[in-house]
Amino acid sequence: MSQRTPAPGDAPETGGSAVVDIRDLRITFATDADPVRAVDGVDLTVRPGEVLAVVGESGSGKTVTGKSILGLLPETATVQGAVLLDGQDVTTLSGTQLRQVRGRDAAMVFQEPSSALNPVYTIGWQLTEGLRAHGVRSKKAARAKAIEVLGQVGIPDPQSRVDHYPHQFSGGQKQRIVIAMALVLGSKVIVADEPTTALDVTVQAEILDLLRRVRTEFDTAIVLITHNMGVVADLADRVAVMYQGKVVEEAPARALFADPQHSYTRALLAAVPALPTRAGSAGVGERQATAEDPQPDGGAPLVQARDLHVVYPSRLGRPGFHAVAGASFEIAPGEVLGLVGESGSGKTTIGRAIAGLTRATGGSLQVLGHEMVGFRERAFRPLRARIGFVFQDPATSFNPLLTIADCIAEPLMVHTSATPREVRSRVAALLDAVHLPQHFGDRYPHELSGGQRQRASLARALALDPELLIADEPTSALDVSVQARVLEVFTELQERLGFAALFISHDLAVVGMLARRIAVLYRGEPVELGESASVLLDPQHSYTQRLLASVPVPDPVAQERRREELAALAD
């Protein structure tokens, strides 16, 4: 193999032991419009056994930087600079050479484990595929190695599980298998691109534990790409903060969290919603004080669920899937109820049932006095004017062919007979209320950023002054700094307009900031319902306790303590 061999020792501050050494990396993408410079002069080094976290918001170039380590860039990318992987410049390697490097020297863990595994092969086949590609001929040896690694990443009963297919594993287990695929070849560095973003918070804690063990037991270097400051605090030794293709700050994790230097880092840290602590009065405390003013005025509840069941039908002769099993709660006028749970807990289903998008099948669900079990669309339609809905993904919840103003005007066009002039002035007022400039109304949805779109979505939901707003994970698709802004607008409008809201989220800290009361769902059943402060500070149910303890906080010192608490809880 021919490659530029850098003189050992010229890597900065490492004494030549760096596994990955990125020097003045510049990556440019050709697009339909002007070329986009995704990475602009990045220098990074990773030493063996070190976890380097690359943090930044979407579009900051962190994923592209990570993928460049494995030479996994699309055809449209132009790379300048050097990426030295174990002394070899990846950017100059041919396809064959790259294939030898991948797996042996560097491996990748992807965000979505379900799509990283091939559904038609057993996991054993997929684990040994890498070994076969790298010259292990004996089937027996490869299989033995696969079983060994599966055991190491904590898959129970690896001897028999090795012959199972991906769909027979849970999301967390699939991510373990993807990590095992990286370990089976003894990669020197693992690039983990948002390895826990698609996972629930309790599973996330387990995967982070596993990565930590991989680092200490195998002395593998890990490049952790994430936007979650809590994950960074939990795992990273060193942190590089990226912003618009540049590394704006690089420091050891503790130093960075304790004393951030760059203004962007400070803003990023400040934007992370904090869980309330017993000692501090952040979040819930503040909200409690203001929540006193618009006290629920004792009117009839807007939403009243009694033993609500939602069953999705399944194939003939099989029992249906119970998405919601016996939920009871109320939403009073002007009240914000937070609905928390992991994926599959039925929280979104409840929101959709209230909006009439999913049919409630059992029990009783009264929305604005209308029974939703067995409802007829025609009879419910007039009431829809009094309900607003904010969807999770702002990118897809707008018709891409209509302007923002048209989208916001849609409810007015459907439910009122306002003149075009009235509609225009109402849209202008709404844009103003969510702090978007007037001229944004003439733009198309794809011309707005995610946060701006979500604010426009809020404007559309509020167009008819609804009494009830259902917000289904409205900020989970957004970056932290953007999320903070959207939540701010939400809080402000809720206080001013006094609508009731059902705020659905998997993020306890976010719900804690907004909601007066919180309901915790677990597998379709509500396990805890109470005032925000009491649920977050003094959880009664063991699941709530585990959920709370699993949330990583953006502070390495505190996170270490919490980790021990969680371990104690698990025993």
Partner 1 sequence: MTENTSAPPPEAPVADRTGPAWSRIPVLRELRQSVGLQRGMLVAGLALCLLFVLMALLAPLVAPYRYNQLADDAGTFARQAPPGDGHLWGTTVGGYDVLSRVIWGAQTALSTVIIAVVAALFLGVLLGLVSGYLGGWLDRVLVTIADAIYAFPTLLLAIVISIMISGGQSSKWGGIIAAALSITVVFIPQYFRVVRAETVRLKAEPFVEAAQVIGTPTGRILSRHVLRNATRSLPLIITLNASEAILTLAGLGFLGFGILPTSAAEWGYDLNRAISDVASGIWWTGVFPGAAIVLLVLGVTLVGESLNDLADPRLRIRRRAIGGASIENRDEEEQR
Residues that bind partner 1 (CB under 8 A): 28-33, 35-36, 38, 58-59, 61, 64, 67, 72-76, 78, 355-357, 381-382, 384-385, 387, 389, 391-393, 396-402, 410-411, 414-415, 444, 446-447, 449, 460
The residue among 134, 279, 111 whose CA lies nearest residue 198 is: 111
Report the nearest approach of partner 1 to the CB of residue 285 (Å).
34
DSSP 272: S
Indicate the residue among 94 and 540 with the shorter CB distance to partner 1: 94
Report the nearest approach of partner 1 to the CB of residue 282 (Å).
32
Instruction: Give 410: exposed, middle or buried? Use CB within 10 Å, 0-12, 13-18, 19+.
Output: middle
Indicate the residue among 383 and 497 with the shorter CB distance to partner 1: 383
Indicate the residue among 289 and 379 with the shorter CB distance to partner 1: 379
Q: Give every CB contact of residue 142 below 8 A, 6+ residues apart in sequence.
A: 128, 131, 132, 136
Q: Which amino acid is at 141?
A: A
Indicate the residue among 187 and 397 with the shorter CB distance to partner 1: 397
Report the nearest approach of partner 1 to the CB of residue 46 (Å).
22
Report the nearest approach of partner 1 to the CB of residue 401 (Å).
5
Indicate the residue among 181 and 256 with the shorter CB distance to partner 1: 181
Report the nearest approach of partner 1 to the CB of residue 287 (Å).
27
Report the nearest approach of partner 1 to the CB of residue 522 (Å).
26
Q: Which amino acid is at 413?
A: M
Sheet with 468-472: strands ordered across: 387-390, 468-472, 500-505, 336-340, 517-522, 525-531
In angstroms, the Cα distances linking 56 to 63, 81, 239, 263, 561 are 10, 21, 10, 13, 25
What string of DSSP letters covers 410-449? Answer: HHHHHH----HHHHHHHHHHHHHHTT--GGGGGS-GGGS-
The encoded tokens of residue 405 equal 């103003």
Report the nearest approach of partner 1 to the CB of residue 293 (Å).
29
Report the nearest approach of partner 1 to the CB of residue 356 (Å).
8
Indicate the residue among 390 and 547 with the shorter CB distance to partner 1: 390
Indicate the residue among 79 and 205 with the shorter CB distance to partner 1: 79
The tally of CA atoms less than 13 A away on the side-chain side of residue 9 is: 1
What string of DSSP letters covers 331-380? Answer: E-TT-EEEEE--TTSSHHHHHHHHTTSS-B-EEEEEETTEE-BT--HHHH
Angle at 560 between CA 557 and CA 564, to 5 degrees: 145
Measure CA 37 to chain center: 25
The encoded tokens of residue 401 equal 């062919």
Indicate the residue among 37 and 523 with the shorter CB distance to partner 1: 37
Report the nearest approach of partner 1 to the CB of residue 69 (Å).
14
Report the nearest approach of partner 1 to the CB of residue 59 (Å).
5
What sign results for the dihedral spanned by CA atoms 339, 344, 345, 349?
positive
Indicate the residue among 137 and 446 with the shorter CB distance to partner 1: 446
Report the nearest approach of partner 1 to the CB of residue 463 (Å).
8
Q: At what angle do helices 420-433 and 404-415 cross, to 10 degrees?
A: 120
DSSP 320: P
Q: Which amino acid is at 400?
A: P
The residue among 482, 406, 400, 487 whose CA lies nearest residue 449 is: 482
Indicate the residue among 153 and 323 with the shorter CB distance to partner 1: 323
**Element at 509 (helix H, strand E):** helix 508-514
Report the nearest approach of partner 1 to the CB of residue 158 (Å).
29
**Element at 454 (helix H, strand E):** helix 450-461
Return d(Cα 50, Cα 212) in angstroms, integer. Answer: 10
| Helices of type H across 240-295 | 253-258, 263-271, 284-291
Report the nearest approach of partner 1 to the CB of residue 74 (Å).
5
Q: In the chain, what's the furthest Cα-to-Cα distance?
A: 78
Indicate the residue among 468 and 553 with the shorter CB distance to partner 1: 468
In angstroms, the Cα distances linking 48 to 51, 178, 191, 215, 288 are 9, 20, 13, 9, 48
The residue among 65, 57, 70 whose CA lies nearest residue 226 is: 57
Indicate the residue among 223 and 463 with the shorter CB distance to partner 1: 463
Indicate the residue among 293 and 377 with the shorter CB distance to partner 1: 377
DSSP 199: S
